[in-house]
């Protein structure tokens, strides 16, 4: 966890050495985010420990399983900031869209490919059913990287919706493997599934980008720099709290692994 989050702390201290003083009235911000995993932990901690409120923010956190859907919600005006990263942001930027990455939390792959124990080699993936969250997601890009680098044929990619659904599909035997982020990958390894491709393996394949971070509408970030900095500051403080309070963080990670998010962060999203 230290490697994933310390990058954000260092970046913030360099870019914003002076803390901004929030206004007296909390500013309401809609904040859709994903995935349901370790990469999103700083926001969950910031919400639960009222760190957003400390920085003058009333953040309405809404878990959404797919980054492409978050982009759609932002373009429709439902939110000006969000927590995610990966292909959806890149695609929007390349198309001249208004959504940009403003903070990096995981500037590399953190995903793993978990498979049934009898699959011992990457070549054995041919003809198998592998679960991803959704097309256009980080998990999609990670699996396509494996397929392309190893010249695989006939790998059946199935959209599962989110990590909990992918875990359930793998456990039931509905799929042969799944691309998962921590802590879901840890859980499946303990249950006997094989980590066929690690995050280190993915990075060694020469493909990488920001898989997690904070994004915003460019127009909003330009006009409301103070709010953007406060969201980043709250995220940094959530990261620090998570690292400094190990027992609390372990309990929270266990809840995420069991797919039981705090009520403050598990609201359904309506477009």
**Residue range 189-199, pLDDT digits in tens:** 999 999 999 99
Q: What is the DSSP string of 119-142?
A: --SGGGGTT-EEEES-TTSHHHHH
Residue 215 has pLDDT above 80, yes or no: yes
Sign of CA dihedral 237, 69, 264, 1: negative
Return the pLDDT at 180. Answer: 94
CATH superfamily of 2-107+209-265: Periplasmic binding protein-like II (3.40.190.10)
Domain ranges of the chain: 2-107+209-265, 112-204
Cα–Cα dist 28/25, whole Å: 9
Give the pLDDT band (50/70/90) at residue 17. Answer: very low
- 2-107+209-265 matches 112-204 in fold: yes
| Closest to 139 in 3D by CA, of 232, 238, 39 | 39
Cα–Cα dist 15/164, whole Å: 36
The answer, as to whether pTM is greater than 0.85, is: no
Cα–Cα dist 62/70, whole Å: 10
Tens-place pLDDT, residues 84-100: 887 778 888 888 889 99
- Can you tell me which residue has the tokens 């940009």? 100
Mean pLDDT of 24-32: 91
Cα–Cα dist 189/268, whole Å: 29
Most confident of the ranges 61-75, 127-141, 205-219: 127-141
Higher pLDDT among residues 11 and 165, named by residue: 165
Return the pLDDT at 116. Answer: 97
With b for 16 or more beta-carbon neighbours within 10 A and e for fewer, the 83-106 pattern comes to bbbbbbbeebeeeebebbbbbbbb
- Write out the E strands in the chain: 27-33, 57-63, 81-83, 99-106, 112-115, 129-132, 156-159, 177-180, 194-197, 212-217
> Which CATH number is associated with domain 112-204?
3.40.190.10
């Amino acid at each position: 966890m230290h490697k994933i989050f310390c990058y954000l702390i260092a970046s913030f201290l360099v870019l914003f050495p002076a803390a901004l003083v929030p206004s007296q009235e909390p500013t309401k911000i809609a904040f859709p985010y994903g995935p349901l995993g370790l990469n999103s932990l700083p926001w969950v901690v910031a919400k639960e420990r009222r760190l957003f409120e400390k920085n003058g923010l009333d953040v309405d956190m809404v878990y959404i399983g797919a980054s492409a859907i978050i982009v759609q919600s932002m373009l429709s005006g439902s939110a000006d900031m969000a927590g995610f990263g990966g292909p959806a942001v890149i695609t929007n930027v390349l198309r001249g869209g208004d959504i940009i990455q403003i903070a990096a939390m995981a500037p590399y792959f953190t995903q793993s490919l978990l498979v049934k124990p009898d699959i011992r080699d990457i070549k054995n993936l041919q003809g198998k059913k592998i679960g991803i969250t959704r097309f256009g997601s980080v998990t999609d890009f990670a699996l396509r990287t494996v397929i392309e680098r190893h010249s695989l044929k006939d790998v059946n990619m199935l959209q599962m919706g989110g990590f909990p659904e992918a875990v359930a599909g793998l456990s039931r035997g509905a799929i042969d493997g799944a691309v998962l982020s921590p802590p879901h990958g840890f859980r499946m390894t303990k249950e006997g599934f094989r980590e066929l491709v690690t995050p280190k393996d993915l990075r060694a394949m020469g493909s990488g980008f920001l898989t997690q971070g904070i994004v915003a509408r460019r127009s909003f970030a330009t006009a409301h720099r103070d709010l953007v900095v406060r969201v980043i500051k709250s995220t940094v403080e959530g990261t620090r709290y998570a690292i400094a309070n190990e027992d609390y963080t372990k309990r929270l990670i266990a809840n995420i692994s069991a797919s039981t998010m705090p009520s403050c962060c598990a609201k359904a999203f309506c477009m």
